[in-house]
Structure 1
Amino acid sequence: MNLYKFGKLVCSVIFYPLYRIKVYGKENIPSNGPVIICSNHISNLDPPIVGITSSRDIYFMAKEELFRNKFLNKLLTGLHAFPVKRGMRDRNALRQGLKALDDGETLGLFPEGTRSKDGKVGKGLAGAGFFALRSEASVVPCAIIGPYKKFKSLKVVYGKPIDLTAMREEKASAQVVTDLIMSEIEKLTKKQV
């Protein structure tokens, strides 16, 4: 068993009962081909929660500072994370994300770039739109509906892939595409499931 599968198993054993996780719409995640899962961001636990509830292995960006520690670097790399410099355009991170998509993998993004302090969906950064426009990936919106409280129900809702055909043809800006993705995530947060 590789480190990713082992990590997913351990996190599932801990988090599913602890947060009584309920998953909706998992069937909306395509079973093959490149996929971008875009989620809201309400906690540091969001990446493992999206990771264990998705039917696909996911590559995540993580802040560069975490990779400075040798042990963490090895652990995060084994868990399919790669570094991103925050607050600036990081060409290396963009290349790594596009390579994962070119290889038919799944890229997990939190377009807001930082956790929401009030739990509301905030404005997304253009990076999500960039990846969506520069690849042929299916873009699946995801909403984590909290709060993270022990033994209270945490919901993870996956929406249908967003049809970006027209936006790709019109060569829409990355920010416009991100705004559409964020609006779809926001709709999911309000969905009664």
Structure 2
Amino acid sequence: MIFFGHVGITTAAFKLYENTISAKKVDKNKSYIDYRVVAIGSVLPDIIDKPIGAYFFRSTFHNSRIFAHSLVFSIFLIILGAYFFKRSRNNRIITLGVCSLIHQILDSMWLYPGILFWPAYGLKFPTRPEGNWIASNVVNLLTNPFVYGPEILGVIIIGYYFIKLFINKRVKEFLKTGRL
């Protein structure tokens, strides 16, 4: 999965969750979901790992899925987020943690246990023979239904919410508050 699949599917999962808890009459003003944070969190592992593993330290890691694609990263964010949520009712950090966990699920990280369960198998990350991952992603996007399918679904989901915001004249509100 590249970008739209991560953002769209994660947004849909959070919207489903939000609709479920609002049915229980949770005070939306005290703890609502900031979908700007969801968008960032859904691609956070790639934002962190791609530059580190594929560019800056390519000769060290030989892998563009490293620290932020591990469970340690997501669990750390979730625990830190739970602490801040308990203190201030701010759910942004826990949202980042859950989004990064969803990212790992969408990336099928269970196929790479040396990365997912790092550092349980040692401190060194396994190398992945990626070659040029950008070219590889483009080829997969054009030929692999397990890549282009979620991307198309993500575009549809993002498009739906964007059109809904536009029709309801709430784009500025979304940019200020992150509410869908």
What TM-score do the two structures reach when normalised by structure 1?
A: 0.24
Higher gyration radius (CA): 2
Q: Greater strand percent: which structure?
A: 1
What TM-score do the two structures reach when normalised by structure 2?
A: 0.25
